[in-house]
Chain A
Amino acid sequence: MKSKAPIALFSFVVTYLIFLYAPIILLPLFAFNDSSIISFPLSGFTSKWFVGLWYEETMHRALKNSLIIAVVSSVISTIFGILTARALARHQYIGKKPIFGLIMAPLFLPEIIIGVSLLIVMIQIGLTLNIWTVIIGHVLIITPFSVSILAAAFNNMDRSLEEASLDLGETRFGTFRRVILPLVTPGIISSLLIGFTISLDEFVIAFFLTGIEPTLPVYIWAQLRFPSKLPGIMALGFILLVLSLVLLALFEFFRRRSEALTSGKPSSEHQ
């Protein structure tokens, strides 16, 4: 028996998705458009804007900064995530709930507040703004994600697995190496991937905390005042979009692997 509801729901969803993602379609549209002015009608297909990126020295430096920041931030956040998740899952201590709340708080704070506050504090302390100040800011906002992902992995893991390993004669370290580590590795990879993606695309905090070494998003923002640079920026944006999608797909793959392994149930791929 069919009802009217699904059709209405379906059209709502479609409209919503178009509204959300249509602006992004503009990126590839104008990145391949043979015109230095961003407007309709379209002129023709070209890949020269992509080629042009190859020669942009300042862009390369910004890209290098972003990559370094992204890698370092995601690694530090993941380490924090592992330690926190393990403590949460296996130990009891005073202030467990408030501490957890504090760690997760950056998720709910507007980034601009975080950015400005950190800037004020850093200036007061006398820190020079550079890659490391950005890393501090990014670690702050990425850690909640790492903690979530890794806490899920640890919580799902049957407590008896560690006991079983000991029961079979293995040492605590051997248990960590042979049982725990293999099971949390997909979670670790997920955490690294999402941390990397968040950091790479992050603008607001980087804008406040970056000094003379801009990150890629900050560089892009700076270029917006030069109309001639715009198509190149579109091309760059498109590359970043594709890269982000690939990273997110990888992230999802590893997240599912992690879930399947730690909960001991077959993932949808293996049924």
Chain B
Amino acid sequence: MSSPSSASPNQQGSVMVQLSSIRKSFDELEVVKGVDLQIGAGEFFSLLGPSGCGKTTLLRMIAGFEAPNEGHISIDGQAMDDVDANERPTNMVFQSYAIFPHLSVGENVAYGLKKQRLAKNVERQRVDEMLKMVDLEGLYSRPSYALSGGQRQRVALARALIMEPKVLLLDEPLSALDKKLREHMQQELRRLQRTLGITFILVTHDQEEALIMSDRIAVMFDGNIEQLGRPQEIYERPVSKRVASFIGVMNFIEGEYIGRKGKQLKVRADALGEVLLEQEQMPTEIEPGQVTIGLRPEMMTVLYHKSDKSEKEFNATVENVDYYGDMTYYTVTLPKSDDQVTISMRNTAGRHVYEIGDKVRIGWGSASMVILV
């Protein structure tokens, strides 16, 4: 289903987490319907999908909080079939953070170290080091009810990382934070992961987050992995309409796959005429017939000046404008059809921002199209 280059974690790395034929049901409802997955050591891996797709259940099975009905999990070569959650070389950052309310910041972070019976000053030093790493320096004695959302998140992170797990599991860790903080933490998490070299497995429904942070993403729907690959692959060559519309914004144009012409594929759409596409623009092999063509908003452009040229172009009227400050999204109707498409333009210096009703020229090329099923 996905290109062979990304089926295995990385060319030279070893496999840290192996999931084989995992199935899980709750009462009568099957939530995970047969998942096979290999996650590499040192990889930042994301499980991405809408609510109910099974991603959190999968994460919890890796952590040991749920047992699969079928299939096996192994971590760093060791089978986890009879290993309880408290014995696994994993640690989790919970969605609610699960900060112990009756303990201070320092006591929370040191919680898992107690078993090791370290000397007081040794333990304190390690906690202080970890607090510094997550930017919570000096907050050792702060009671946990006096923390902001972002601080609680970092305490949860510190508490898990101090255990030096082989795999860090993150269950939608940023969903409760406001936008600016979330963006900052996305960078922080990526930086931490690169510094520590630990395998991170992140569960999220936010596709932007997955794209920004991950080395590879598994896009899940209804208990199955629909596509597995690097962010760029998933964004540029989604295997299905579902994946295409879940990741970013995608324009869908109805058309027809006519057949091969040499090594190329002949595709026609009422609105855009006939085009020749490359093999890689058809991620899933199909027979000639009705198809949906996907085209990203940034792959079309507004031609501002008479002298601006493009491989192909058409005239249209602006029907909607969404201004985001750095970008503007225009909605226009394609010629000879009722299909609407969205075009995104960067608001560079001096660039005109159109209004509804303005007549514009739209330029586009066939190289970025994708045939979707």
Contacts and interface: CB of A to CB of B under 8 A. Distances in A.
State the main secondary structure of chain A at its contact with B: helix
Interface of B is mostly: mixed
Contacts of A163: 65, 85, 92, 94, 98
Given A163-B85, A261-B101, A266-B146, A169 B112 contact: yes
Interface in A165-199: 165-171, 178-179, 182-183
Given A166-B85, A168-B112, A168-B163, A161 B146 contact: no
A252 interface: no
Contacts of A183: 101-102
B163 A182 contact: no
Interface string B232-269: 00000000000000000000000000000000000000
Interface string A153-168: 0000010110111111
A264 B163 contact: no
A170 B86 contact: yes
Interface string A250-271: 0000000000111011100010
- How big is chain A's contact interface, by range? 20 to 34
A178 B86 CA distance: 15
A160 B95 CA distance: 9
A224 to B, nearest CB: 48
B96 interface: yes
Interface residues of B, number: 27
B159 interface: yes
Nearest to B156: A164
Interface in B75-92: 84-87, 90-92
Interface string B119-144: 00000000000000000000000011
Of the candidates A158, A164, A170, A261, the one having the most CB atoms from chain B within 10 angstroms of its own CB is A164
B98 A161 contact: yes
A165 B94 contact: no
Nearest to A157: B101
Interface in A43-97: none
A264 B96 CA distance: 11
Contact of B92 (A167, A170, A179, A261): A167
Given A169-B86, A170-B86, A270-B146, A164 B102 contact: no
Contacts of A182: 102
Contacts of B91: 167-168
Given A168-B112, A169-B163, A171-B86, A158 B146 contact: no
Interface of B: 63, 65, 84-87, 90-92, 94-96, 98-102, 111-112, 115, 143-146, 159-160, 163
